[in-house]
Amino acid sequence: QSALTQPASVSGSPGQSITISCTGTSSDVGGYNYVSWYQQHPGKAPKLMIYDVSKRPSGVSNRFSGSKSGNTASLTISGLQAEDEADYYCSSYTSSSTLYVFGTGTKVTVL
């Protein structure tokens, strides 16, 4: 089971919006509405930001939103803030025996 494909890095200025893509196949992203997104600051544990493609857990800012089209999911961060600078990983349920696959990760830099 190969990792989902994400851009290595995305950057933006404070207040801007950025979008991170997550590309898989029909066996994972395209086959299920079970995509989630995680934020990870250096040396810290991941934090759930989005689940079921577009749902936000309680306490997560509404500046974070998710969507999906075909085999590609996306995370959009609007009103970019300095604290959003972190690594972001997508994840999807898969039809393979390895039940979950993560993305390659994207480093978000706030300029």
Secondary structure string (H, E, C) spanning the chain: CCCEECCCEEEECCCCCEEEEEECCCCCCCCCCCEEEEEECCCCCCEEEEECCCECCCCCCCCEEEEEECCEEEEEECCCCHHHCEEEEEEEECCCCCCEEEECCEEEEEC
Q: Interface with another protein includes 83 (CB under 8 A)?
A: no
Nearer to another protein, 7 or 51 (CB): 51
Residue 92 interacts with another protein (CB under 8 A)?
yes
Which residues within the stretch 13-72 sit at the binding site for another protein (CB under 8 A)?
32, 34-36, 38, 40, 45-48, 51-52, 57
Binding interface with another protein (CB under 8 A): 1, 3, 32, 34-36, 38, 40, 45-48, 51-52, 57, 89, 91-93, 96-105
